[in-house]
Chains A and B, each alone.
Chain A
Amino acid sequence: MTEIEPELSLDLLRAGDRNELARLVEAYSPSIYRLASRMLGNAQDAEDVLQTTFLKVFKALADFEGRSSLSTWIYRIAANEALMMMRRKQPAYSLDEEVEDEEGGTYQPKEMADWSALPEAQLLDVEAQKQLDRAIQTLPAKLRSVFLLRDVEGLSIRETAEALSLTETNVKTRLLRARLFLREQLSAYYTEKMALEK
């Protein structure tokens, strides 16, 4: 979840104060690494995105106008880097085609078992954790970025929209789809798990 935004001095950052820059890196690198690893599903790519993000942040700080919060601005740079990395890795794969933002094709839940009361130790055991990781990697990238920023990093709808250059309506539509998609995946898995243990 989001850490409390640390008190950083923009003036010092813009002046290139090394101590302040180090504080910025300390404050945001865990979130950015988390976002990049989950977006890309690969440690090496995540590290590349982490480094490029901060190099760009350092370079662009002078031009940062403070129209969005510093954290949203950093997430925006990181999300762009991660999406560019995906395009480089899978040039044939079009990020634009995979999601339509219309409400069309209204989603119908299929898995109806109630696993929500299973004990947490079981919901998050080693095997289940792997399943969670697999499921999020099968989520289309455009939905994944929204889900990670909003539900995992705790950005608001507006901040998520700013970070991804989307409208708030688009964010809401994608968020609903992402949540329902993951729910479906986890439901299928936990239903089978419950059946096996009977």
Chain B
Amino acid sequence: MIHTHENGITCQDLLLNLSSYIDGDLEESMCEELKRHMEGCQNCRVVFDTTTRTIYLYQSRIERDEIPPEVRERLYSKLNLDDFLKTKA
């Protein structure tokens, strides 16, 4: 195996790669390095867990946003598409 424990990554490395790691954009070997770092580093594990949770919470929160019916009506009217308003509730 290429990686050695002595050359482990730092907290700063983890931070800089955090987003790409969350997005699954990193090479397998780098993911392994990050995972191993987090096993031994409580702070980085918390940062990782709370960051993924933050993203998830915003997704759940905003996903529930709906377009108010009167806003939708005014949009269709502005676009001269009033006659299509009833096609979908």
Contacts and interface: CB of A to CB of B under 8 A. Distances in A.
Interface of A: 1, 18-19, 21-22, 25-26, 29-30, 33-34, 37-38, 43, 47, 50-51, 54-55, 58, 103, 106-107, 109, 111-116, 120, 123-124, 129, 132-133, 136, 147-148, 151-152, 157, 172, 175-176, 179-180, 182-183, 186-187
Given A115-B53, A132-B61, A176-B16, 16 more contacts: A18-B81, A19-B84, A25-B79, A26-B84, A29-B67, A30-B66, A50-B71, A55-B78, A112-B46, A116-B50, A124-B57, A148-B62, A151-B55, A152-B63, A179-B19, A179-B51
Contacts of B67: 29-30, 33-34
B47 interface: yes
Contacts of B55: 151, 179
Given A107-B15, A136-B58, A183 B51 contact: yes
Interface residues of B, number: 40
B54 interface: yes
B49 interface: yes
Contacts of B46: 112-114, 116
Contacts of A107: 15
A106 B14 CA distance: 12
B43 interface: yes
Nearest to A151: B55
Interface in B15-49: 15-16, 18-20, 22-23, 25, 43, 46-47, 49
12 contacts: A26-B84, A29-B72, A47-B74, A50-B71, A51-B75, A51-B79, A54-B79, A111-B50, A114-B46, A147-B58, A152-B58, A157-B25
